[in-house]
Amino acid sequence: MEKLWTGRFQKPLNEIADEFNASIGFDSRMFAQDITGSIAHAEMLAKQGIISESDKAQITAGLSDILEELQSGALAIDEACEDIHMFIEGELTKRIGEVCKKLHTARSRNDQVALDLRMYLRGECGEIQALLKEVIAAIVTLAEKNTDTVMPGYTHLQRAQPILFAHHLLAYACMFLRDSDRIADAVKRMNISPIGSCALAGTTYPTDRDYEAAKLGFDEPCINSIDGVSDRDFCLELMSAFSITMMHLSRFCEEIILWSSWEFSFVELDDAFTTGSSIMPQKKNSDMAELIRGKTGRVYGNLFGLFTTLKGLPLAYNKDMQEDKEGIFDSVDTLKICLRVFAPMLESMKVKKDNMLAAAKGGFINATDLADYLTKKGMAFRTAYKLTGQIVAYCIEKGKDLESLTLEEYKSFDAMFEADLYKDISLETCVNKRISKGGTGKQSVLEQIERIKKEL
Ligand code: ARG
C-alpha cells in the first residue's frame, strides 16, 4: 500500500524495513479512539472555519461508518498499513476522496498517537478499577464468613499471634483499595489533551484546543506542545500502579499456595481453579495462583522496559516511542486477566477453619498475652517479657504448653500469677481482647468490614 508520506521519496520502503517499521499489528486496538479523536478534530476545524461545514459532514459521516463497520467486523484492518492512523485515513480517502485530505490539517500523527493512547488507557483503567472492585467485594464476602475463624498470624513465617482470618483477608482489601486509588490518581494526570500540539511546535491555524479537549472528555489541553508529544510518563505511572497491584495479587497468591499445601492445609481451592499432574495422581496444583505470581514478573518487566526506552530520548517525538504500546498493552491485558481469575478463585476457596484453629493453638502464640497479664498486674513489660521467655523455655524442655502448665509451676516463676491467668491466655481472649482500632478483635474487624464496604 502506498504510504501517505511518499512525496519526497524516490523509492518505496524496503520490504523488511516496512515490516519492521509497522505498528498496526499492535496499535489497531486503538481504532475507536483514533476515530473519535478524528471526528472531534474535524468538528473543531469546521467550528474554526478551517474546513467547511460540508467537508466536516462528509468526514464525520465517513468516519462513523468506518467505526461501525470495524466494530461489527464488516471491515477488516489491513495489516499491510503502517499503523492504525494511516489505515483509517487511507480507508476514509477510499470512501470520500479528496475531502479526506483536509482532516489532517493542524494535526500530526505525533499528537494523534499521544491522544489515542491516553484515551485508550483511560477506558482500560475504568475496567481495571471495576475488576478491582470485584476482587475487593470477594475478599469482603469471604471475610464476613470468617469473623470467628482463628488462625495463626505470622511474622518471619513463624507463628506470632492469633488473629481472625477475616482480619488477614481485609489487609489485602485495604491494599487493593489503594491500588484503585493510585490508578485514579494517575488517570487524573493523564487526562490532559495533547491534540493540537501537532508535530511538536503547534500550528499557524487558528485551532481551538480547549474545545477539542473538552469534546474528548479531557480536563484541559496540555500546557506545552513539546511536552504533549514527547512524554510517556502517564504510561510509566500506570505501569507502576499496575506493578504494585500485581505485587499485591502475587503476595496473596503466594499465601494461597502455601495454605493449600499439606503442610498448612488451611484452605482448599476449588477443582475448577486447580489442575492435576500428568504423572502424580494425587496432585492438585494451584496453577492459577502460581500463574498470577509468575505474570507479576512480566508486568514489572514492561515498566522497566519503557523506563529504559525513554531514558536517553531527546525531545520531541522519536520513533523509539512506538515501543511504548506493546508493553503497556500487555500489562493491561495481564492485569485484567489476573483480576478476572482471582476473584472467582477466591470466592470458591474452601476454608478449613479447624486446621487454622489447631495451628493457632500451637507454637506459644499466646506468649505476648502472658507477658501482658503480668504487666497488668504491675510488672514492667520488659521484665514480664523476659520472664515469659524463661517460662516458654521451661515448657519446651518439659514438652508442655502455656495452657497446661500448673498454677504451682507458674507460681514458682513469680508469685503474681493467679488462676485468672488461664482466661487471659486463652485463644478467645487473645483474639477478642485486641480491640484497638484496626486490630484483630471481632468488633474491630466488623468495623473494618463496614469501612471497606463504604469505600467500595
Ligand atoms: N506508529 C507511530 C507510533 O506509534 C505513530 C506516530 C508516528 N509518527 C511519526 N512521525 N513517525 O508512535
3-state SS class at 132? helix
115-138 average pLDDT score: 98
| pLDDT tens digits, 86-122 | 999 999 999 999 999 999 999 999 999 999 999 999 9
Query: Which amino acid is residue 413, in one-letter code?
Result: F
Query: In sequence order, what are the beta bridge partners of 153?
Result: 161
353-362 average pLDDT score: 93
- Shortest CA distance to 89 belongs to which of 7, 5, 23? 5
Query: In sequence order, what are the beta bridge partners of 220?
Result: 192
Cβ-in-10-Å burial (0-12, 13-18, 19+) of 239 comes to buried
Q: Please state, in angstroms and rounded to a whole number, the distance separating the CA atoms of residues 338 and 358.
A: 32
The crossing angle, in degrees rounded to 10, of helices 324-347 and 109-144 is: 10
Cβ-in-10-Å burial (0-12, 13-18, 19+) of 450 comes to exposed
May I ask the CATH class of domain 110-354? Answer: mainly alpha
297-307 average pLDDT score: 98
Instruction: Sketch the domain layout of the chain as residue ranges.
Output: 13-105, 110-354, 359-455
Q: Please state, in angstroms and rounded to a whole number, the distance separating the CA atoms of residues 209 and 73.
A: 33
Whole-number Å distance, alpha carbon 320 to ligand 1 midpoint, is 9
Fold of 359-455: Ribonucleotide Reductase Protein R1; domain 1 (1.10.40)
- Which residues, at least 6 apart from 49, have a Cβ–Cβ distance to it below 8 Å? 206
Choosing from 82, 85, 109 the residue with most ligand 1 atoms within 8 A of its CB, the one to mutate for a pocket test is: 109
What pLDDT, on the 0 to 100 scale, is given for residue 80? 94
**In 362-406, which residue ranges form alpha helices assigned H by DSSP?**
367-376, 381-398
What pLDDT, on the 0 to 100 scale, is given for residue 414? 95
Decide the pairing of beta strands 158-164 and 192-193.
unpaired
Q: 232 CB under 6 A from ligand 1?
A: no
Residue 2 pLDDT > 80, yes or no?
no
CB-side exposure of 442: number of CA atoms within 13 Å?
Answer: 11
* Residue 277 is among the residues annotated as catalytic for this protein: yes
Closest-CA residue, ligand 1 atom 11, reads 319
DSSP 208: -
At 5, give phi and psi (nearest 5°). Answer: -105, 20
What pLDDT, on the 0 to 100 scale, is given for residue 428? 84
How crowded is residue 340: how many other Cβ atoms within 10 Å of its Cβ?
Answer: 13
Decide the pairing of beta strands 220-221 and 267-268.
unpaired
Residue for grid cell 501482658 = 372
Cβ-in-10-Å burial (0-12, 13-18, 19+) of 291 comes to middle
Closest-CA residue, ligand 1 atom 4, reads 322
pTM, rounded to two decimals: 0.93
CB-side exposure of 275: number of CA atoms within 13 Å?
Answer: 8
| pLDDT tens digits, 226-275 | 999 999 999 999 999 999 999 999 999 999 999 999 999 999 999 999 98
Whole-number Å distance, alpha carbon 170 to ligand 1 midpoint, is 45
What pLDDT, on the 0 to 100 scale, is given for residue 231? 97
DSSP 8: G
Mean pLDDT (the chain, rounded): 96
Q: Please state, in angstroms and rounded to a whole number, the distance separating the CA atoms of residues 195 and 443.
A: 53
Q: Picking from 8-12, 63-67, 449-453, which range would have the lowest pLDDT averaged per residue? A: 8-12
Task: Kindly name the residue from 54, 261, 277, 404 that is annotated as catalytic.
Answer: 277
Q: CATH for 13-105, among 1.20.970.10, 1.10.275.10, 3.40.50.11060, 3.30.530.20? A: 1.10.275.10
Which atom of ligand 1 lies closest to the CA of 83? 1
* Residue 348 is among the residues annotated as catalytic for this protein: no
Which atom of ligand 1 lies closest to the CA of 317? 10
